[in-house]
Amino acid sequence: MFLEPQETMPQTSVVFSSILGPSCSGQVQPGMGERGGGVGSSGDLVFQDGRLISGSLEALMEHLVPTVDYYPDRTYIFTFLLSSRVFIPPHDLLARVGQICLEQRQQLEAGSDKARLKSFSAKIVQLLKEWTEAFPYDFQDEKAMAELKAITHRVTQCDEENGTVKKAIAQMTQSLLLSLAARSQLQELREKLRSPAMDKGPILKAKPPAAQKDILGVCCDPLVLAQQLTHIELERVSSIHPEDLMQIVSHMDSRDKHRCRGDLIKTYSLEAYDNWFNCLSMLVATEVCRVVKKKHRTRMLEFFIDVARECFNIGNFNSMMAIISGMNLSPVARLKKTWSKVKTAKFDVLEHHMDPSSNFCNYRTALQGATQRSQMANSSREKIVIPVFNLFVKDIYFLHKIHTNHLPNGHINFKKFWDISRQIHEFMTWTQVECPFEKDKKIQSYLLTAPIYSEEALFIASFESEGPENHMEKDSWKTLRTTLLNRA
């Protein structure tokens, strides 16, 4: 049965709370202390109902840095570190944090209160620990690492040999280096892996031999294939990090002259995940179009419809959308004789869920239901939520475009970045789910390496299966035949 859509909005998940703390509301948490005030204006910070909504960049940076009597809310730490890269490179932010720390340290040293100085140092180390754990890639360049070393050197001057502050810094540094090494190795490995080979397709009536393997020869169980697709999705999406998603804002905000120039390079993880969607769509179309007999093509279409339905029930909306997109490509959609033999009731239900009208209202209702199921889950299978990535990106883009980065008074519109951070937080929660399905290397190898037809090859195979029916199709077929003959 299909997952029943839920009408109630789910509460924000707490799976990612190791970084974000107990909520992502932006409200000051009890007992954390406040730097200089509450509701209303506090220097260059503006609060509304206890929630920070705007401030100058300098004031926001100062609000990040602890004092003896204050430690920033962890949701603020995450949101500001995530969004600040739109305005200032991480290494420059780290340098400014170091300057603020030095100024405060000098004031404490003048008071000769070692206990307060040690307390302040411990809080600075805690802030750096949270930063290096949430955004380790901010420290990949020499400038950032040099700034980190300078700050940690200053805060350890009051600590005795083998003191708690020095031990905490040593552990933090070791964890950071391990994270950077692991991520670097992963990226090197993935850069070696290429997308599935693009097959030029048949050459005029040269249909694939009957013995050639297709997806049904590798896996004929729709549920098993949906589970393996989910395995691939979770593996690929787990390599996406919050700062990668924040680049959506950096890339699209070409008018903001203050955006972080170092973030303009598109990350490999985002590109690879986007390519995976396209490859899966083309693989579905290839598997259908290269089948010789109409009866077998019908079976192939019905198989993929069942796979898409199983993906929906699992909560894997991205693969589901990719499969539907593949079956809606023109070379597949035009196969009217084949589709006339397909029991399309299931497909109609799937298309209803992915109906683009009202901003994909049906899909969003289903996504809310899956999210609520995930939050109440007793098993890892019920925790899986893989949204349609392209729609998620559009949502971030929409949030970015309808709200300005700066208010008329020059303040940063921090309310906007709370909203973007909340969206990214929820997405990151979903990426942390461990896949509960056993990996099948044979099936995954086929899905990731099977040759896929180019768009031209798909049309050729489609026309060979069912000839052109109108003048436009006849002209297209004639052009393709001429191109192939000239190429031969």
Indicate if 225 and 106 belong to the same structural domain.
no
Q: Do 82 and 218 share a domain, yes or no?
A: no
What pLDDT does 115 receive? 83
How does pLDDT run across 238-262, given as a tens digit for each residue?
889 998 898 877 665 544 444 443 4
Residues 289 and 396 in one domain: yes
Q: Are residues 434 and 302 in the same domain?
A: yes
Residue 263: which pLDDT band, with cuts at 50, 70 and 90?
very low
pLDDT in tens, 328-359: 999 999 999 999 999 989 999 999 999 999 99
Give pLDDT tens digits for 279-325.
Answer: 999 999 999 999 989 999 999 999 999 999 999 999 999 999 999 99
The pLDDT of residue 154: 85
Q: How confident is the model at residue 213, as a pLDDT? A: 82
**144 — pLDDT class (breaks 50, 70, 90):** very high
Q: Is residue 470 part of a domain?
A: no
Over the chain, what is the mean pLDDT? 83
Q: Which residues contact 24 (CB under 8 A, 6 or more apart)?
A: 12, 75, 78, 79, 418, 421, 422, 425
Tokens of 316: 């894997």
Q: Please check whether residue 341 lies inside any domain of the structure.
A: yes
Summarize the confidence of residues 206-218 as an average pLDDT: 70
CA nearest neighbour of 317 among 401, 430, 405, 199: 430
Average pLDDT over residues 111-122: 84
75 shares its domain with 176? yes
Show the domain range for 153.
46-187
Cα–Cα distance between 246 and 105 in angstroms, integer?
33
Q: Please tell me the total count of domains within the chain.
A: 2
For position 192, what pLDDT does the model report? 54
Answer whether residue 390 is part of any domain: yes
Across 182-205, average pLDDT: 58
**Is 194 a domain residue?**
no
The mean-pLDDT minimum among 21-25, 310-314, 448-452, 479-483 falls in: 21-25
Please report the pLDDT score of residue 196 as a whole number.
53
Q: What is the pLDDT of residue 217?
A: 94
Average pLDDT over residues 81-86: 94
Quote the Cα angle for 46-151-17, to 5°: 55
DSSP H stretches of helix in 265-356 = 268-289, 294-314, 317-327, 330-333, 336-339, 345-353
Judge whether 400 lies within some domain: yes
Across the range 138-151, mean pLDDT stands at 92
Please give the distance of CA 106 from its chain centroid, rounded to a whole number. 42
Shared-domain flag, residues 163 and 301: no
Residue 203 has pLDDT above 70, yes or no: no
Instruction: Tell me, yes or no, whether 25 lies in a domain.
Output: no
For residue 232, the surrounding DSSP H or E stretch is: helix 222-237
The three-state (H, E, C) secondary structure of 402-465, written as one string: HCCCECCCCCEEHHHHHHHHHHHHHHHHHHCCCCCCCCCHHHHHHHHHCCEECHHHHHHHHHHH
pLDDT at 42 over 60: no
* Residue 230 sits in the same domain as residue 136: no
User: What pLDDT, in 10s, does the model give residues 118-127?
Assistant: 889 999 999 9
Mean pLDDT is lowest, of 155-159, 182-186, 191-195, 450-454, for 191-195
Q: What's the CATH number where 81 sits?
A: 1.20.870.10
Q: Average pLDDT in the 389-398 region?
A: 92
Looking at the fold, whether 288 and 366 belong to one and the same domain comes out as yes
Tell me the whole-structure pTM to 2 decimals. 0.82
Mean pLDDT of 102-106: 89
Q: Are residues 333 and 405 in the same domain?
A: yes
**Residue 109: pLDDT band with limits 50, 70, 90:** confident
The reply to whether 192 falls in a domain is no
- Same domain? For 166 and 222 the reply is no
Q: Is residue 313 part of a domain?
A: yes
Q: In what order do the strands lie in the sheet with 412-413?
A: 40-42, 45-48, 51-55, 412-413
CATH of the domain at 226: 1.10.840.10
Mark whether 110 and 220 lie in a shared domain: no
Tell me the three state secondary structure of residue 298.
helix
* Identity of the highest mean pLDDT range in 104-118, 183-197, 249-263, 402-416: 402-416
Q: Are residues 297 and 398 both part of a single domain? A: yes
The dihedral sign for the CA sequence 240, 245, 246, 247: positive
Structure-model confidence comparison of residues 222 and 209, the more confident one: 222
